[in-house]
Chain A
Amino acid sequence: GENVEQHPSTLSVQEGDSAVIKCTYSDSASNYFPWYKQELGKRPQLIIDIRSNVGEKKDQRIAVTLNKTAKHFSLHITETQPEDSAVYFCAVHAGGTSYGKLTFGQGTILTVHP
């Protein structure tokens, strides 16, 4: 099955700095790559996603890049703010007949210091 590795497991930055989180996956047929933000005790919430026919997508301070050849994708947060502090999960959809099954990475605890 799909294997998703996420790094780093923890990331501490100063307010205003950039943060980058990386994920690799194993199945070359994977076709959908969402990123979720999860605050303590809350549900995962989609913050950005990218599909396999696109290399980069940006939404204000958040961007995702995808390298299908190398099978990795990254989340970039610029001008970080304390409210960006949360656990971030990457996920991968395997494609084919996989009915919406997402395989999640292990998560990155992002702490933004004021």
Chain B
Amino acid sequence: EPEVTQTPSHQVTQMGQEVILRCVPISNHLYFYWYRQILGQKVEFLVSFYNNEISEKSEIFDDQFSVERPDGSNFTLKIRSTKLEDSAMYFCASSETAGTGELFFGEGSRLTVL
């Protein structure tokens, strides 16, 4: 069964450093997303991406965040200057359609900012 894959599974970084989280969505999917989950809390939407541009973003997705699809397979989330409160599990997801289609989540990348 096709899966969304994410790397790294865990990254530890110092406050102020840049971090790039990588995702390979399911190959025939057109819509890509990043969500985050702070430990013990709910899953929160960060950004959606379609046709090589951001479709929608939340208030969390400020100027420190950016997304990119540098080639035909990868989808990346960059945090320019990490803060302690960026520590969370970051889930990439993809879907075949927007709206009422199933989102397929990756296993997540745990980011720890010290």
Contact = CB atoms under 8 A, between A and B. Distances in A.
Nearest to B58: A101
A26 interface: no
A95 B99 contact: yes
Q: Please tell me the size bucket of the interface on B.
A: 20 to 34
Most chain A CB within a 10 A radius of its CB, from B97, B98, B103, B105: B103
Nearest to A44: B105
B103 A100 contact: yes
B100 A43 contact: no
In the A-B complex, the 9 residue pairs with the smallest Cβ-Cβ separation, listed nearest first, are A99-B55, A32-B100, A43-B105, A99-B98, A99-B48, A104-B43, A104-B42, A100-B98, A106-B42
Interface in B60-114: 91, 95, 97-103, 105-108
Contacts of A46: 102-103
Q: Please tell me the size bucket of the interface on A.
A: 20 to 34
Given A49-B102, A101-B56, 19 more contacts: A31-B99, A32-B100, A42-B107, A43-B91, A43-B106, A43-B107, A44-B105, A45-B105, A46-B103, A51-B100, A89-B43, A95-B99, A98-B98, A99-B56, A99-B98, A99-B99, A100-B98, A100-B101, A102-B45
Given A31-B99, A43-B91, A99 B106 contact: no
A53 B10 CA distance: 41
A30 to B, nearest CB: 10
